[in-house]
A and B are shown apart, each in its own frame.
Chain A
Amino acid sequence: MSDLPVDLPIAGPTAPPRSNGEMVFDAPWESRLFGVTMALVEADRFSWTEFQRRLIAAVGRWEADHPDGEGYRYYERWAEALESLLDDLGIVDIETTDARAHALAARPAGHDHSEHGGHGSSPTAHDVP
């Protein structure tokens, strides 16, 4: 992150994307997904170009199925793109993601991700050193 401009406020009321009247992400999981994807790019697990190809394909598939464009959720397509790329690269297969997502969905009430949002909401993540 050496190219990070150093003279900018890290947070606070003047932090610009928000001062522009719009949050960058609509939900905490979207920001997590973005961060995870970019971290994988930084770690050279795949290139942005490879990811983008999947994203374009996922967006195109959705739009072919929904000509009126109603109900479009950009980060759902992003998630689909990342899942398919990680599956094809043999990093995390779809079945494993499915199983984990179902396990997370079965958590007792009060542990649901959407109640807390944000980082560290996953009990699994907390257990990892």
Chain B
Amino acid sequence: MTAVPRAHDHPDAALRAEALESLLLERGLIDLNVVEGLIGRYENDVGPMNGARVIAKAWTDADYRERLLEDGTAAIGELGYSGPQGEHIEVLENSDKVHNVVVCTLCSCYPWPVLGLPPSWYKDPAYRARIVREPRQVLAEMGLALDDDVEIRVWDSSSEVRYLVLPERPDGTSDMSEEDLAALVTRDAMVGVARVAAP
């Protein structure tokens, strides 16, 4: 594959993106309504609240938890969440002995149907390189200090497999409803760079 030639006075990426869009529109290769529908979908409709519902259900329904760990994609689909980048989702269960954390070392693979599009830090070269080399240090820098006896497992996403972390349910939440529990679950906890805090 050939690299894209780069002229010295190369217009910036925003202009190039606009140029591409206008050319594709003129040629009838894309539909403006479809483009805007897709943008709106990922800005507003698909995001970590989907994953939070999955996690809260797993915390309150032992059968569902089992199905989720067995076949993440199918169990997530039971709640109506599916689509691009969700074809094969594996769910990783955290415990007091094992902490899972997710990265995509090559680009930005991420389970869109349950987490939406990835945050900037997930796509950043520093996170992608360092979480593999020194996960305990990076997690500590991100505010998650883990005891030395907790094993850290780093999972590298790929085009074949995306991961969702099932965090530990915080103490003091036994009386909470599924809906209230879902409100506690954060995106970062589902990527494995944070714990779910008690309310």
Residue contact B23 to A100, C-beta cutoff 8 Å: yes
A 31-69 binary contact with B (CB < 8 Å = 1; else 0): 111111011111101001100101111011101001001
Which secondary structure dominates chain A's binding surface?
helix
Q: Is A11 on the interface with B (CB-CB < 8 A)?
A: yes
CA distance A92 to B17 in the complex (A): 12
User: Is A31 a contact partner of B25 (Cβ separation < 8 A)?
Assistant: no
Chain B interface: which size bin? Answer: 35 or more
In the assembled complex, A9 has its CB within 8 A of some CB on chain B? yes
Q: Are B17 and A32 in contact (CB under 8 A)?
A: yes
User: Ordered nearest first, which 8 A-B pairs have the shortest CB separation?
Assistant: A69-B125, A16-B47, A100-B19, A124-B22, A29-B14, A101-B11, A101-B19, A17-B47
Query: In whole angstroms, what is the CA distance A87 to B16 when docked?
Result: 13
Q: From known contacts A16-B116, A17-B44, infer whether A59 and B107 are also in contact, taking CB-CB under 8 Å.
A: yes
A36 vs B36: C-alpha distance in the bound complex, in angstroms? 9
Question: Which residues of chain B are within 8 angstroms of A121 by Cβ–Cβ distance?
Answer: 18
Report the contact-size class of chain A (Cβ under 8 Å from the partner). 35 or more
List which A80-127 residues lie within 8 A (CB) of chain B: 80, 82-84, 86-88, 91-92, 94, 96-98, 100-105, 113-114, 119, 121-122, 124-125
A interface with B by C-beta (< 8 Å): 1, 3-11, 15-20, 22, 24-27, 29-36, 38-43, 45, 48-49, 52, 54-57, 59-61, 63, 66, 69, 72-76, 79-80, 82-84, 86-88, 91-92, 94, 96-98, 100-105, 113-114, 119, 121-122, 124-125, 128
Q: Are A125 and B32 in contact (CB under 8 A)?
A: yes
Among residues 36 to 52 in chain B, which have CB atoms less than 8 Å away from a CB atom of chain A? 36-50
Which A residues are in CB contact (< 8 Å) with B109?
Answer: 52
B62 interface hit (Cβ, 8 Å):
no
